Amino acid sequence: MKALAVLAVLIGVMALLRIPANRDVQEVSHESVATNYAVYRNAAFQFAFAHKGYSGDIPLASLSLPESWRMARTWHARMLDGCCYVYGEASPEEAEAVRRLFRGSFAIGLAYGGRLAPATGPHPVPVPSFVPNGNLVSVVEVS
């Protein structure tokens, strides 16, 4: 729990340090949503690695989130067939802010046609049908 709180604070500080004075409010808002998603995603992935045999939706109450954390969007986490999917509605600009935050990870993007977009890397990442098209999604294998 303490490690997650420290991570959340560090991500917040990094986001603040990366905001030059000439950036517009909308761009800063995208990064705030990205940071909010990142904290939720990390808590969901911690749960997934601690409960590898779990299947189904991961309840918010089961996640170790900082006490002051509040959802910026309605994020969802679900485990299926040894993978954890964290997803929710986000604009393409917010999704891009998340990808920048995670340094261009191939496991983060938007769900389109059952695949993760942008389709980078040697193999396209499949996305199950419970993730709506256009949603921001991050996937990790935990099996």
User: How many alpha carbons lie under 13 Å from residue 115 in its C-beta half-sphere?
Assistant: 8
pLDDT digits (tens, 9 = 90+) for 52-108: 999 999 999 999 999 999 999 999 999 999 999 999 999 989 999 999 999 878 889
Render 34-76 in DSSP notation, one character per residue.
HHHHHHHHHHHHHHHHH-TT--EE--GGGS---TT---SS--E
Angle, helices 25-50 vs 92-101, to 10°: value is 60
pLDDT digits (tens, 9 = 90+) for 5-58: 666 666 666 665 555 555 555 556 889 999 999 999 999 999 999 999 999 999
